[in-house]
Structure 1
């Protein structure tokens, strides 16, 4: 149930009361579950204001047909003075029309709730760990990381707004061979900072200029102590120093997008603490890891392949197509083995886990879900776990693709993006398509001042509202709720659109889809702009009607509440609600 008594919640309670009365009368069995009963807008607005499926989902329990049960529900709802009509549609849906006062009361609910309007307690305080970004600490954040970063951050905000306790986490992959390469690349730049001519960066190293500052930092800290020394003397140190430097830069880059994590978990620290060994021991105890030999790869001949006994996780037990090794033949942990232990660690502090991954990791989803399912089964603490895949973004400049490569150092960073088009444009644009859909990001199009640019269209609606309020104040008018009954059908249509927001929040949170909020805001902004445009041809439909102060006050009150809903939605997305454009 929402924290504020929104109109959909209120009528949900009215319908629940009707169903309880039918139970008392014997028309429904005692204790009938209402879990699947919904109250929502009808698909066709001409059919009414609200629709419920109560008769459709409860008829079987009542041992009657849906239309007969709908008739009994309609009879009781029709007695409510706020219901102007209750009609049965199709096989048993019920459409309701409400008196204008019910919708006008929703404006009061928006005003009284303010920043909390649309928030929900559906999360019931359950802790949700949302892990996102988790880029290897081998360079600055670039556009390859941006979309997942924004989706994860917006999802975390959405879940918090819907009543969850959210843990924002970043997993630092600082234990793999790529970090050794980073340390060696930093050592080259260290020698360069001390005056050595290093020439062209060797193949396989990271050549980006971003490591110049890291090399200088190492030179300042250690002088020439590690020049000419064996790698064994400096590799571990340089690895830690380089990762620290890269993580400082990554935090700064993410801050430009308004993103801050609560927890940074180190893979190296995880392994140093023996977490993978603990996970393996636990899994062996529950017969979920065994020593076995993988089958030879199918479909191709591998000349140097030979059977090797490895510790294998029984992922086929949980729907995977083969069991997966958790260690390599040299005894080192596979990425899957380390990741399994990491999820086991996360599950200790959360009721639910959500990972935001790039679509290139799709092949590992099944096995990591299997691992978490195994941990849940054995621990007796079921851990819901979801992986959201995010497609890459095709970056365009003037319609031409911009190539990116971290290894070559030729890439567009998040810092570059924010400097050129602004944080709000980047964030909102990343949420204008479903994350699993391909996306183009063209510098020219994302800053267009047009209806085709969603971020402009939504921000412009809020700016227009504030411009109107400033103009009204200059002319001596102020928002006033005393005469809301003067609002007509066109204005009530805007109220009905705004009243969808709490439903959209709960639906988006339940589906783990923050882009739904961006879609909703675009539709709400479109409805507002359409009403605004009525005033171009019809002066009586303008927000400020100079000769009618009462009507002007009512319309300004409406405008204020529309702006409140837009601001609440933009806050979830991490986008500023600008007041001037």
Structure 2
């Protein structure tokens, strides 16, 4: 049950009727026509811009169109009032029976209420986290992991077929550095004193890896040149780090469908095949780039490179894919990786990058546009930095990682549910402050607590009703007579519930899962407001002593709120609680 979609259909049907009787021309584009909540609730329950957006193509005044539409809309039994506002906006008020039917529909659908078929089974690849396999995930990775995972769940909820993917950056020089760092820990496990030079990884997390290597090979690598052990230790260390990363992700409730190794692109012809695809389209050439901004001709040495014509697809400059010495640039394997994704037949690709990858967006989009003949859209979402605070001061925790706060540190401190919800309380491209005191605070200012408290309150009502001998299973509540739910505060809750299916589609379309967290907070606020009014107005309390039928009607509304909160928290990867502790 999607009320906004249903009323949207009513509006388009009315436009069709006006076209058939000659009031409006046939064949108007109805794509821009919307039905949405009005900016000011005092204006009504819904508003449509139909007359405004159709005026120019119909060559009519907006108000004339609006006045022709209003009688058609007002004739529908779901509409209690339709009126024209301003130059031609149409405001609608819906009948009480519409809002009273909503909890029943929600209880029948359960957490499937709000699910959409918008995606129509289109295949979407969401790549996120994709950290270098050189250590545990840090707090910045945490935000990307939560955002990517929630986005994947949101798209699944909206009817897409989603693959969650992790790109293992195991093909670059940083993995050699990891191997050398593990070798130092290996020597240390044999009792040798070691010194970590600049550029190596001194974190304590490699102590166990060095010991495990000793257990595996004994003293076989002792006093051996790097050529003997580098490749084998690199593979050993990468596997150990990926196991650590998988454990970190699991602690946050994140499970990937697919891990793709960058290393698998080298020596297999995959990079060459991707570049050849671009070459066949006339997009690869040899040339000399202009000096980068800030470089003067005196400190810039022009040299011929192999370049990709990324400017043809909206990039600022063409990008090197091969250095003058014949080695691939970092961009080349990324092109090959996305060529592989395009070849797998995805309808859309989403990459979740850290804020430091902002300069990579245009070139990567250009590459995918070229590789897919502009048929596969790529959306790149950047996650901004997370700043940690405690007692109002910047906060640093363990040095287990050597130089940064780990994902596991954060989860161990506040738990996975709080971590996930808080990471989604800001839009992905806005900086986020994570205050360890505030996220555990039991107040309205803490959105995690406020939403969970709403769900727990409903569960408390259900328990008390059951103790009073009132049947409150969903089937019984769905059959309750809700005609008595007429108070504005009760209807405010129902109206907020009605926005859920629309919100899901908007959030999925814009790739913005934070909208779900915002909505849940607003829904919780409506429930808490109704609860608090019941303190002063006994007739609004969910439990009406001696009146099981009225109690069931009011509890049906509350239970519908809990169902939607549970569904929304499920998208965010957060478990709803039944009581606050």
Give the TM-score band, short-chain normalised: over 0.9
3-state secondary structure, aligned to 1:272: coil
C-alpha separation in 2, matches of 1:98 and 1:64: 28
**Residues 205, 407 of structure 1: 8 Å contact kept:** no
Please state whether the residue corresponding to 1:134 is helix, strand or coil.
coil
Identify the residue that residue 481 of structure 2 maps to in structure 1: 483
| Residues 491-510 of structure 1 mapped to structure 2, 5 A cutoff | 491-510=490-509
Rounded to whole Å, the distance in 2 between the matches of 1:124 and 1:347 is: 19
3-state DSSP of counterpart to 2:301: coil
3-state DSSP class of the match of 2:322?
coil
Distance 2:314 2:73 in 1: 48
Aligned residue in 2 for 1:268: 263
Q: Which of 503-512 and 537-546 deviates more?
A: 537-546
- After superposition, residues 501-580 of structure 1 pair within 5 angstroms as 501-580=500-579
* Residue of structure 1 in register with 2:409 after alignment: 416
CA contact (8 A) 1:6 1:106 kept: no
**Secondary structure class of the residue paired with 2:198:** coil
Change (3 A) 1:298 1:385: closer
The C-alpha deviation readout for 1:213-266, integer Å capped at 9, x for no partner, is: 111121111111121222112111111111111001101100111111111111
Change over 3 Å in CA distance of 1:86–1:298 after alignment to 2: closer
2:306 to 302, 308, 311: 311
Decide which of 371, 375, 379 is 1:382's aligned counterpart: 375
Alignment correspondent of 1:168: 164
Q: State which of 190, 195, 198 in structure 2 corresponds to 1:200.
A: 195
8 Å CA contact 2:444, 2:450 repeated in 1 = yes
Are 1:7 and 1:103, in contact at CA under 8 Å, matched by a contact in 2? no
Q: Gaps spanning 5+ residues in structure 1: where? A: none
Q: Output one character per residue of 1:362-411: Cα deviation in whole Å (capped at 9) or x when no partner.
A: 1111111111122232xxx6111111111010112222223589997133
Q: Matches of 1:39 and 1:475 in 2, distance apart?
A: 43
1:417, CA displacement in angstroms? Answer: 1.3
Question: What's the secondary structure of 2:224's corresponding residue?
Answer: coil
Kindly indicate whether the alpha-carbon contact (under 8 Å) linking 2:204 and 2:401 is maintained by their aligned counterparts in 1.
no
- Structure 2 Cα separation of the partners of residues 579 and 123 of structure 1: 32
Summarize the Cα distance change of 1:306–1:407 in structure 2 as closer, same or farther, 3 Å threshold: farther
2:438 to 423, 442, 445: 445
Whole-angstrom distance in 2 between the partners of 1:403 and 1:335: 32
Contact 2:456 2:577 in 1 (8 A): yes
Residues 285-294 or 316-325, more deviating: 316-325
Structure 2 counterpart SS, 1:518: helix
Q: 1:143 aligns with which of 139, 142, 146?
A: 139
CA distance in structure 1 between the partners assigned to 2:133 and 2:223 by the alignment: 26
Q: Which moved more, 1:426-435 or 1:26-35?
A: 26-35
Note the C-alpha offset of 1:52. 1.2
Q: Residue 190 of structure 1 is aligned with which of 186, 197, 219?
A: 186
> In 2, are the aligned partners of 1:296 and 1:307 still within 8 Å (CA)?
yes
The answer to whether the 8 A contact 2:398-2:405 is kept is: no
Question: Which 5+ residue runs of structure 2 have no aligned equivalent?
Answer: none
Structure-2 residue corresponding to 1:215: 210
Distance 1:316 1:38 in 2: 36
Distance 2:83 2:523 in 1: 28
Q: Contact conserved, 2:45 with 2:93, CA < 8 A, in 1?
A: yes
| SS of aligned partner of 1:206 | coil
Give 3-state SS (helix, strand or coil) of 1:345's partner.
helix
Q: How much has 1:59 moved relative to structure 2?
A: 2.4
- 2: distance between equivalents of 1:534 and 1:147? 37
Contact kept in structure 1, 2:129 and 2:141, CA below 8 Å: yes
> Does residue 334 of the first structure (1) align with residue 332 of the second (2)?
no
Per-residue deviation, 1:138: 0.3
Please give the per-residue CA displacement for 1:488-526, whole angstroms capped at 9, x wherever unaligned.
222111101111000100011111100000000001101
Local SS of the residue matching 1:178: helix
Query: Cα gap change, 1:396/1:498 in structure 2, threshold over 3 Å: closer, same or farther?
Result: same
User: Quick one: distance in 2 between partners of 1:557 and 1:502?
Assistant: 19
Query: Residue 330 of structure 1: CA displacement?
Result: 3.2
Between the aligned partners of 2:197 and 2:294, the Cα distance in structure 1 is 35
Whole-Å separation in 2 of the counterparts to 1:100 and 1:217: 68
Deviation at 1:99, TM superposition (A): 1.1
Equivalent pair of 2:397/2:409 in contact (CA under 8 Å): no
State the alpha-carbon separation in 1 of the partners of residues 267 and 578 from structure 2: 51
Q: Which moved more, 1:197-206 or 1:47-56?
A: 197-206
- Counterpart for residue 64 of structure 2: 68
CA distance in 2 between counterparts of 1:405 and 1:494 reads 44
SS in 2 for 1:485: coil
CA distance in 2, matches of 1:49, 1:384: 36
The alignment yields a C-alpha RMSD, in angstroms, of 1.8
Cα deviation for residue 62 of structure 1 reads 2.7
Q: Is the 8 A contact 1:39 1:52 kept in 2?
A: yes
Q: Which residue pairs with 1:395 in the alignment?
A: 388
Determine the structure 1 residue equivalent to 2:28.
32
Q: Tell me, what secondary structure is at the counterpart of 2:542?
A: coil
Q: Name which of 85, 93, 98 aligns with 1:97.
A: 93
Q: Deviations over 1:276-319 (max 9, x none)?
A: 11111121121111111233445345877533321111122223
Matched, 1:362 2:351: no
Q: Are 1:16 and 2:12 matched, yes or no?
A: yes
Which residue in 2 is equivalent to 1:474?
467
Q: Look up the match of 1:323.
A: 318
8 A Cα contact 1:27 1:62, kept in partner: no
Alpha-carbon distance, 1:163 to partner: 0.7
Name the SS for the 1:120 alignment partner: coil
1:153 aligns with 2:149: yes
What is the alpha-carbon distance in structure 1 between the residues aligned to residue 461 and residue 95 of structure 2? 29
Between stretches 456-465 and 362-371, larger displacement belongs to 362-371
> 1:85·1:97 contact (CA, 8 Å) conserved in 2?
yes
CA distance in 1, matches of 2:557, 2:315: 54
SS at match of 1:191: helix
Residue aligning to 1:252: 247
Select the residue among 128, 132, 137 that pairs with 1:132. Answer: 128
